[in-house]
Amino acid sequence: MDSVDLNVLRSVLEWRRAGQRVVLYSVVQTWGTAPRAPGAMLALREDGVVIGSVSGGCVEDDLIARLHDGRIPTDGPPVQLITYGVTREEAARFGLPCGGTLRLTEEQVGDPHWVAELLTRCEAHEIVARSLDIATGEVLLQSADKADVLSFDGNTLRAIYGPRWRLLLIGAGQLSRYVAEMARLLDFEVLICDPRSEFVYGWEEQHGRFVSGMPDEAVLTIQTDERTAIVALTHDPRLDDMALLTALDSKAFYVGALGSRVNSLKRRKNLAELGLSPQAIERLHGPIGLHIGSHSPAEIALSLMAEIVAIKNGVELKQKKAVAGGYMSEPIGVIVLAAGQGSRFRQVAGADKDKLLADCTGRDGTVRSVVEQVLVSVPASLDKRVLVTTEDRPQVIRMAKAYGFEIVLIETTGMGDSIAAGVAACQNLGGWMIVLGDMPFILPSSIERVAAQIAADCVSVPVYAGKYGHPVGFGRSFGPGLAGLSGDHGAKPLFAQGRVVEVAVDDPGALWDVDVPEKLVFF
């Protein structure tokens, strides 16, 4: 049952307890095209106030008119059947689509005890059948099954009520905020669990309820049922896998975890080693989401919610991306360099102005800080993420954690030192993508194209207008060379140690670094 219908019942209970007369309308049958499905409800108070909906608006107007002109007598039958749209003219009058017919029950609500009981049972996540005897108005509540549907034989209306659909998010990072907002718009009750206290900040205005404890405890605490989806989004296997071990053995209709195809395969292997059955592991959705070419957190959230809603509605998942070969065959580490002090920028803007925190308008039209624009542009498929910075940048550190980056702190600020520290933090990979923290205008598609060309013995470089740009990808064989860099020397001398694959990109952002304040405006 959606929140609208729950609010209808809550209002019925409140109004009746206040001694006010209430008429409850329920859609019991439709023919042709109708605005609302069977089961939709509307409550009408004695003064004409309504809550809920049974059509696009015109039927509601007529129901209110019935009350005011005496067509709903207080001494009339407890339940009546009303039909709208019998003729073409009547359908047009009430705004029903061509050929649409709508039949409603008009029910005088007497003792509201059954309403209170129904709400209590729904809030306890029980599925309940309400049988309404049309002749007597008698109501009977019984337990129901998720496969039960509304039925009406002309004498008895049997309507099915249940709890709202729920979404439990493991992790309160940036992506979770986008998912929570979209889930709320789709009428999911949003629950969040993240034992990392630093991620709770900023959720005060978000629509979601925090569940205390560790992720596995949260899955048990909320009494997971067939109307619950659970998604692990922390990028931390210690937390994600903890939740998955419990969630995959629960009744949740959807269990997913953020990660690339390679990491998803590793996760399945780890779960098997931890004793989870093959049948339970088979339920895991990963990589999550439908393939829509998503790059930004908002797009990833959209693809995830599209998949969850499709499964909720029993729709076959035809738009899942089958990835084979290319850079997805081995994990690639993304190293964002954010330790440089930006002396040229400070000379112009002021000694206390950190260019990484300066606002700029990204290629997607959204205003973010320079470093957040960089973090947003990293594709979700590249989920081994490291940001190298200094401890005097707490805002950068907090932001990077929210986007799933591991933080590597260094004392020096040389590019060579930063690269070496980043590679040391994510060894034994298929390669590394070096991303500069002051280049906020690179398109995510450019990053993906460069990553796709990484091979063991080659350097992958974007080329725009005949010039080499960023980011630069290095294959596995360059690991020792990258780890041996130091000082202010970058990785360009390593180009001579292998093949250089030039990747043509139609992206001036690949050449655009913010070294002075004027460069905050992209054109």
Q: Are 137 and 78 in contact, with CB atoms under 8 Å apart? A: yes
Residues 6+ apart with CB under 8 A from 324: none
Q: Which DSSP string do the residues of 209-239 spell out, in sequence order?
A: EE--S-HHHHHHHTT--TTEEEEE-SS-HHH
Domain definitions of the chain by residue range: 3-161, 166-313, 332-519
Beta pairing class for 367-369 and 359-361: antiparallel
Taking only the tens of pLDDT, the chain with its 523 residues reads: 566 788 899 999 999 999 999 999 999 988 766 667 888 999 999 999 999 988 866 788 889 988 998 888 888 899 999 988 755 565 555 555 544 678 999 999 999 999 999 999 988 888 899 999 999 999 999 998 877 889 999 999 999 988 889 999 999 888 898 999 999 889 899 999 999 877 777 776 557 889 999 999 999 999 898 889 999 998 888 899 999 999 999 999 999 999 877 788 888 989 999 999 988 998 999 889 988 877 778 888 999 999 999 998 888 776 765 443 333 346 889 999 999 989 999 999 999 999 999 999 998 888 999 999 999 888 877 778 999 999 999 999 999 998 889 999 999 889 999 999 999 999 888 899 999 999 999 998 889 889 888 888 889 999 999 999 999 999 999 999 999 999 988 899 999 888 899 999 899 999 999 999 999 999 7
**The predicted structure's pLDDT at residue 324:** 37
| Exposure letters 373-406 (e unless 16+ CB within 10 A, then b) | bbbbbbbbbbbbbbbbbbeebeebbebbbbbbbb
Query: Of 112, 113, 115, nearest to 123 (Cα)?
Result: 115
CATH architecture of 166-313: 3-Layer(aba) Sandwich (3.40)
CA distance 239 to 243: 6
Rounded to a whole number, what is the distance in angstroms from the first to the last CA of the chain? Answer: 49
CA distance 434 to 419: 8
Q: Is 440 left (phi over 0), alpha (psi -120 to 50) or beta?
A: alpha
For 302-403, strand residue ranges (E) read 332-338, 359-361, 367-369, 384-389
Q: Do domains 166-313 and 332-519 have the same CATH topology?
A: no
Task: Identify the three-state secondary structure at position 193.
Answer: strand
CATH 3.90.550.10 is held by the domain 332-519: yes
pTM greater than 0.75 (yes/no) = no
Give me 119's structure tokens.
Answer: 């709400």
Can you give the C-alpha Rg of the chain in angstroms?
Answer: 29
**The predicted structure's pLDDT at residue 328:** 39
